[in-house]
Chain A
Amino acid sequence: MSRTEFMQGNAACAEGALAAGCRFFGGYPITPSTEIAEAMARKLPKAGGVFISMEDELASIAAVIGAAWTGARAMTATSGPGFSLMMENIGYAAMTETPCVVVNIQRGGPSTGQPTRAAQGDMLQCRFGSHGDYSTIALTPNSVQEMFDLTAKAFDLADRYRVPTFLMSDEIVGHMRERVTIPGAVEVERPRPLAEGALPFEAGDDGTPGFAPFGSGRAVHVTGLTHDERGYPDTTDPEAHDKLVRRLVAKVESARRDIADYEVVNPDAETVFVTYGPPSRTVEQVMRDRPDDSIGHLRLRVVWPFPEFALKVFPNARTFLMPELNMGQMVREVQRHVDQPVISIPKIGGELHTPAELVRVLEAYR
């Protein structure tokens, strides 16, 4: 039985996690993400899960990875400063192919910045923030409903590709309340089990190994060191490192058409907005207020791996416009895939671009 509620984005995130079978949450309070931890603290024990308030964010993500290796769906939630602290172990999760979900309710930075104001300032950090080469998945909800839907989806993607998967939300969507429909049941896709006789880090055809959680009798050695298919450290052979890290990147990047999730409006348009997260709603408002086929919109629900092919949906595009709640982060990624000018419309300080602001930019660039 589905139910409809008027709910905060952060609460919907927790509901999405629970519906997807999340049974472990390790976290540390930080504004503006704390309501997620509070909801999980109330609900997880009743669902037979474990909530634990760790001593810091380094420990939170560590505990989540530990729990994930027992086969539990595991999650943490944080914001800028805590996200920065998690970076080392996010790299560990990428290297060890640990499925887990990290929610970042972004706030103004750098440093402590604006705890109660929205930003999209961590979009490159979630892709490149840990050291070394790796690839991850990042989802960007723009509504309370999507806080539920994309959180649940993040668990499936994390399991399928065995990567840390990010829900890159923000204070606006995390704190707003809207109507949300919570389905009675969510279909859940768990990792492919490690086949009999297969090595624990031997990739299948899709580049991802089967998964043998702790306690399943396969004696898996998990290490953040460069390792071979047995999981054993092999830290000096250039080929071993090359093979492993190329696979870690390729298993995500080569699946970007499968992972991609985006909306296209007016593919024949000449001026095209590219958005993710809440600035998409300002663009939608502008397009409803001023119907005009020459204006298009590409709205990304998955920003990493970046779906560069979606930009080709607009063959007549002359200009791309990118409103972001930062000083221009994803705009760099868009620009490297297209020949047309990509105009950054940065906004920082915590408020969403207003429709009037975007109309002014539109008039200047068309």
Chain B
Amino acid sequence: MRHEIRFSGYGGQGIILSAVILGRAAALYDDKYAVQTQVYGPEARGGASMGQVVIDDEPILYPEVTEPDIYVIMSQQGFEKYGIRAGMDAVMLLDADLVRSRPDCRHYEIPATAEAKGALGREIVANIVMIGALVTATGVVSREAIERAVLDSVPKGTEELNQKALKRGFELGERA
């Protein structure tokens, strides 16, 4: 089944990396197919950034996202630019403290940044918390696959922190 996942937030949150990690998990460790794309623009850090992934069990032909069925939104500006038109059948995970608006579709409030700052002590891993929640809330890739993809993608020396963040995300997603 084809899934189209869109990530948006502000530059510096690791939005694009989140999309790459998800794509890698599907394509390398879940025996699925994935195409990751992103919006390139001249915007400086801080502007709305957006990355997308198509995941499918069969080879992906048309590579672009037309109507995402899963959204991960981590800033208000990101919601307004890339989340506000979500269809009624979509699912949206949003960082509860950073996004004021709520969509009409099914949505889960994930306090990823608060968890990252608080219990985990590093705001930088908020995106990894979010990815964990995404995986357990939607099952779009397996836990094992995302674990391996996260470990592939994070800087050396931060593996333990990121694993903790991912695990915390799994818990938040299960509860959602």
Q: Which residues of A contact B (CB under 8 A)?
A: 4-6, 31-32, 115-116, 171-172, 175-179, 278, 281-282, 284-285, 288, 351-352, 354-355
Task: Assess the A177–B20 pair: CB atoms within 8 A.
Answer: yes
The answer to whether B23 and A175 touch across the interface, beta carbons within 8 angstroms, is no
29 contacts between A and B (CB under 8 A): A6-B23, A6-B27, A6-B28, A6-B36, A31-B40, A32-B40, A115-B42, A116-B39, A116-B40, A116-B41, A172-B63, A172-B64, A175-B38, A175-B40, A176-B36, A176-B37, A177-B23, A177-B37, A178-B33, A178-B35, A178-B60, A179-B27, A179-B28, A179-B33, A179-B34, A278-B63, A281-B61, A284-B62, A285-B62
Question: Does B158 sit within 8 A of A, measured CB to CB?
Answer: no
User: Is the C-beta of B24 less than 8 angstroms from some C-beta in chain A?
Assistant: yes
Interface size in chain B (residues, C-beta < 8 A): 21
Residue among A5, A175, A176, A278 with the highest chain B CB neighbour number at 10 A:
A176
With both beta carbons as reference points, the residue of chain B lying nearest to A144 in the complex is identified as B35
Q: Which residue of B lies closest to A284 (CB)?
A: B61
Give Cα A285–Cα B24 distance, bound, in whole angstroms: 22
Report the bound CA distance from A172 to B23 in whole Å.
Answer: 16
CA distance A175 to B51 in the complex (A): 12
Instruction: List the 8 closest A-B pairs by CB distance, nearest first.
Output: A285-B62, A116-B40, A285-B61, A177-B36, A6-B24, A179-B27, A284-B61, A6-B27
Q: Is the CB of A281 within 8 A of B28?
A: no
Given contacts A4-B28, A32-B40, A288-B61, 17 further A-B contacts (CB under 8 A): A6-B20, A115-B42, A116-B41, A172-B37, A172-B63, A175-B37, A176-B36, A177-B23, A178-B36, A179-B27, A281-B63, A282-B62, A284-B62, A351-B64, A354-B62, A354-B66, A355-B62
A172, B40: Cα distance in complex, Å: 11
**Chain B residues, CB < 8 A from A288:** 61
Within the assembled complex, what's the spacing in Å between the Cα atoms of A31 and B42?
Answer: 10
Interface residues of B in 31-59 (CB under 8 A from A): 33-42
A176 touches B63 (CB 8 A): yes
Q: How far apart are A150's CB and chain B's nearest CB, in angstroms? A: 17
Q: Which residues of A contact B36 (CB under 8 A)?
A: 6, 176-178
Could you say which of B33, B38, B63 has the most chain A C-beta atoms within 10 Å of its C-beta? B63
